[in-house]
């Protein structure tokens, strides 16, 4: 398969999968088989691009010109490659998990669920491979729209209200801020292509660069920078597989990926540094990082706690880009992969507990580790990765982030990064401690471990967190070019 065909396949297979899901709606087993097949084929197509990209190739695919100078085009560079790998790889495990979860929970509208899920993945891959801002924006909006039915899955008043907040915030930021920034960039630079070194460098003076940078950063609502973060906790009304893959991986990573990509390929690190925009963005990210982590420590609902943790961890990636040096950008990009693996594990565990023990609050989890040792063990490993401790992958991303901040002698930022990790201990470890060391409630409860289809994926992702620690080399080699190493 040539790289062009692989790109096309990666984008088309999920869409065909969605069509297949709709066609097989009367036969659930066939329908789920179609989903799993689509996930495997998609991952295969994405993975086949890795050798070429690691070797320095930038395979591309140009479809047609939509507006003069604005083609619908795709080009795979290291950052997008990583994001696509993460999204499509974790989609396989999530769909297996979803089968176990949705059936144990007797959820309705499962056909719509799987179909929208597949289209959302196609949109995420479109974002990952986009060769210009216009293509990226197209798929960005598609991702918002296709995840809306997933957020409002239950259809009750609570879900509807969450859906309104979700759509309202993401649409408002993307249309008012992001679109304005895109068209403004086009008016200034005359192109929207992503180019190493940036397209604004030399064309925008410092004040304009700062305005555009802030428009881009806040306009990318999916990156959940405060004060535009409220949609993410609201989206937690969705079924847990959605929270796991979309609101810990695909959607939010699409946000920080967009910010990083804009910083690297629209502004360029030099313009970011010289204009002073990086400094402002770094402080915005730092504030989000600490505030969200502090909020997470007082959430009792487990999924909400994880959501605020996600907001805090996303700010790490934005901070990495804003520090405007290669090492920090590498750390931020690595964190996309590390955090994805860890956070999806945490959500899988939360869902497994909800589906098995019907418990959703942290305060209800006393002693649950004795009944569900594998689930809670996985939770512990993933927590280590979020905090950034060995033997989990998060260690490396935080290592490079701190190193980058120290390189630039940004000691305040080093302190922020470390404080974020301390807060992460504060909101994750109590869960583990409660589960393993608190005595279980007196009344015996008749549940054991989670269903096998839930347990298997979460074990694999927990092991993945460790794997990312031990085998970080290929990721490093893939990403090294963006940091200029």
Partner 1 sequence: MSEHLPILQVVVPLLAGPLCLLLRHRLLVRGLATAVPLACLTIAGLLLHRVQQVGAISYHIGGWAPPLGIEYRIDLANAYVMVIVSAIAAVVMPFLPGHMGSAMVRRREHLFYAIFLLALAGLLGISATGDMFNAFVFLEIASLASYSLVALGRHRRALVAAYSYLIIGTIGGTFFLLGIGLMYQMTGTLNMVDLAHRLPEPMSPGTPGSRTVLVAFAFLAVGLSIKLAVFPLHQWLPRAYAHAPSAVSAFLAATSTKVSYYLLVRVVFSLFGAAYVFDALKLDRLLLPLSIVAMFAGSTAAIFQTDLKRLLAYSSVAQIGYMTLGVSLASVTGLTGGLVHLFNHALMKGGLFLAAACYGMRLRSSRIADLAGAGRLMPWTTAAFVTGGLALIGVPGTAGFVSKWYLVLAALEQGRWLVAVLVVASSLLAVAYVWRVVEVAYFADRDAGAHPIKEVPPLLLVPTWILIGATVYFGLRTELTAGVAEAAAGVLWESLR
Q: How far is the CB of 10 from partner 1 (least distance, A)?
A: 19
Q: Shortest Cβ distance from residue 66 to partner 1 (Å)?
A: 6
Which residue in 26, 56, 64, 442 binds partner 1 (CB under 8 A)?
Answer: 64
Q: In this complex, which beta carbon is closest to partner 1, that of residue 105 or of residue 164?
A: 164
Cα gap 326→338, rounded to integer Å:
18
Closest distance to partner 1 from the beta carbon of 480 (Å): 33
Considering the complex, state which of residue 129 and residue 469 has its C-beta at the smaller distance from partner 1: 129
- Interface with partner 1, residue 72, by CB under 8 A: yes
Burial environment of residue 90 by CB neighbours within 10 A (0 to 12, 13 to 18, 19 or more): buried
Q: Which is nearer to partner 1, 171 or 456 (CB)?
A: 171
Q: Shortest Cβ distance from residue 53 to partner 1 (Å)?
A: 26
Binding characters for partner 1, 398-427, by CB under 8 A (x = yes): ------------------------------
Give the rounded distance of the alpha carbon of 218 from its chain centre: 17
138 counts as binding partner 1 under rule CB under 8 A: yes
Q: Contacts with partner 1: how many residues (CB under 8 A)? A: 27
How far is it, in rounded angstroms, from Cα 436 to Cα 450?
A: 16
Q: Which is nearer to partner 1, 96 or 159 (CB)?
A: 159
CA dihedral over 30, 36, 37, 39, signed as positive or negative: positive
For partner 1, give the closer residue by CB, 37 or 179: 179
Task: Pick between residue 135 and residue 421 the one whose CB is nearest to partner 1.
Answer: 135
Q: Find the part of the chain contacting partner 1 (CB under 8 A) among 114-122, 139-147, 330-338, 370-378.
A: 139-147
66 is a site residue for partner 1 (CB under 8 A): yes
* Residue 110 touching partner 1 (CB under 8 A): no
* Residue 145 in contact with partner 1, rule: CB under 8 A: yes
Q: Report, in Å, the least distance between residue 141 CB and partner 1.
A: 5
Q: Closest approach of Cβ 180 to partner 1, in Å?
A: 6
Q: Which part of the chain contacts partner 1 (CB under 8 A), choosing from 65-73, 271-279, 303-311, 464-472?
A: 65-73
Nearer to partner 1, 165 or 425 (CB): 165
CA dist list (Å): 190 to 60, 64, 200, 203, 258: 21, 18, 10, 10, 20
At closest approach, how far in Å is the CB of 176 from partner 1? 5
**Interface pick for partner 1 out of 55, 56, 67, 452 (rule CB under 8 A):** 67
Kindly tell me which residue out of 8, 142, 374, 419 binds partner 1, with binding defined by CB under 8 A: 142
Select 239 or 404, whichever has its Cβ closest to partner 1: 239
Q: Which stretch binds partner 1 (CB under 8 A): 59-67, 94-102, 254-262, 307-315?
A: 59-67
State in angstroms the smallest separation of the CB of 170 from partner 1.
10
Residues of this chain, 182-221, that bind partner 1 according to CB under 8 A: 183-184, 186-187
Contact stretch for partner 1 (CB under 8 A) within 62-70, 288-296, 426-434, 441-449:
62-70
Q: Which stretch binds partner 1 (CB under 8 A): 26-34, 135-143, 265-273, 439-447?
A: 135-143
Q: Three-class SS string for the chain?
A: CCHHHHHHHHHHHHHHHHHHHHHCCCCHHHHHHHHHHHHHHHHHHHHCCHHHHHCCCCCEEEEEEEECCEEEEEECCHHHHHHHHHHHHHHHHHHHHHHHHHHHCCCCCHHHHHHHHHHHHHHHHHHHHECEHHHHHHHHHHHHHHHHHHHCCCCCHHHHHHHHHHHHHHHHHHHHHHHHHHHHHHHHHCCCECCCCCCCCCCCCHHHHHHHHHHHHHHCHHHCCCCCCCHHHHHHHCCHHHHHHHHHHHHHHHHHHHHHHHHHHHHCHHHHHHHCHHHHHHHHHHHHHHHHHHHHHCCCEHHHHHHHHHHHHHHHHHHHHHCCCHHHHHHHHHHHHHHHHHHHHHHHHHHHHHHHHCCCEHHHCCCHHHHCHHHHHHHHHHHHHHHCCCCCCHHHHHHHHHHHHHHCCCHHHHHHHHHHHHHHHHHHHHHHHHHHHCCCCCCCCCCCCCCHHHHHHHHHHHHHHHHHHHCCHHHHHHHHHHHCC
113 vs 427, beta carbon nearer partner 1: 113
Q: Compute the Cα dihedral for 217, 225, 176, 171 and give only its sign.
A: positive
Restricting to residues 149-188, name those near partner 1 by CB under 8 A: 152, 155, 160, 164, 167-168, 171-172, 175-176, 179-180, 183-184, 186-187
Task: Name which of 213, 201, 203 is nearest 276 in CA terms.
Answer: 213
Is 141 near partner 1 (CB under 8 A)?
Answer: yes
Contact residues for partner 1, defined by CB under 8 A: 64, 66-68, 72, 134, 137-138, 141-142, 145, 152, 155, 160, 164, 167-168, 171-172, 175-176, 179-180, 183-184, 186-187
């Amino acid at each position: 398969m040539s790289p062009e065909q692989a790109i096309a396949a990666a984008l088309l297979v999920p869409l065909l999968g969605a069509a297949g899901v709709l066609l097989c709606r009367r036969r659930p087993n066939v329908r789920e088989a179609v989903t799993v097949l689509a996930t495997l084929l998609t991952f295969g197509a994405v993975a086949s691009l890795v050798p070429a990209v690691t070797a320095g190739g930038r395979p591309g695919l140009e479809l047609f010109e939509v507006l003069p100078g604005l083609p619908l085009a795709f080009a795979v560079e290291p950052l997008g490659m990583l994001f696509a790998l993460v999204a499509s790889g974790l989609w396989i495990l999530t769909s297996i998990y979803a089968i176990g979860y949705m059936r144990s929970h007797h959820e309705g509208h499962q056909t719509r669920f799987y179909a929208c899920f597949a289209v959302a993945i196609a949109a995420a891959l479109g974002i990952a491979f986009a060769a210009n801002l216009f293509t990226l924006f197209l798929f960005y909006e598609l991702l918002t729209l296709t995840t809306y039915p997933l957020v409002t899955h239950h259809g009750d008043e609570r879900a509807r209200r969450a859906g309104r907040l979700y759509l309202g915030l993401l649409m408002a930021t993307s249309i008012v801020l992001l679109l304005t920034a895109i068209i403004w960039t086009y008016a200034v630079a005359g192109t929207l292509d992503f180019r190493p070194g940036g397209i604004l460098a030399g064309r925008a003076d410092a004040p304009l660069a700062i305005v555009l940078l802030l428009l881009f950063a806040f306009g990318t609502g999916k990156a959940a920078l405060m004060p535009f973060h409220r949609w993410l906790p609201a989206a937690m009304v969705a079924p847990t597989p959605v929270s796991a893959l979309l609101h810990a991986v695909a959607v939010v990573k699409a946000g920080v990926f967009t910010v990083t990509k804009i910083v690297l390929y629209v502004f360029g690190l030099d313009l970011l540094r010289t204009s002073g925009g990086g400094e402002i963005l770094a402080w915005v990210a730092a504030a989000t990082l600490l505030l969200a982590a502090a909020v997470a420590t007082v959430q009792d609902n487990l999924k909400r706690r994880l959501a605020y943790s996600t907001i805090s961890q996303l700010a790490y990636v934005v901070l990495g880009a804003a520090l405007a040096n290669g090492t920090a950008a590498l750390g931020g990009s690595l964190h996309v992969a590390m955090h994805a693996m860890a956070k999806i594990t945490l959500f899988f565990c939360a869902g497994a507990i909800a589906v098995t023990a019907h418990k959703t609050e942290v305060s209800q989890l006393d002693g649950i580790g004795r009944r569900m040792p594998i689930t809670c063990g996985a939770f512990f490993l993933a927590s280590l990765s979020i905090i950034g401790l060995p033997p989990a992958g998060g260690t490396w991303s935080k290592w490079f982030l701190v190193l980058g901040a120290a390189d630039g002698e940004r000691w305040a930022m080093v302190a922020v990064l470390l404080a974020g990790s301390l807060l992460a201990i504060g909101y994750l470890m109590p869960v583990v401690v409660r589960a393993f060391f608190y005595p279980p409630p007196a009344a015996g409860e008749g549940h054991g471990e989670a269903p096998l289809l839930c347990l298997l994926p979460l074990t694999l992702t927990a092991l993945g967190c460790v794997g990312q620690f031990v085998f970080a080399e290929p990721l490093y080699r893939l990403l090294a070019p963006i940091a200029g190493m």
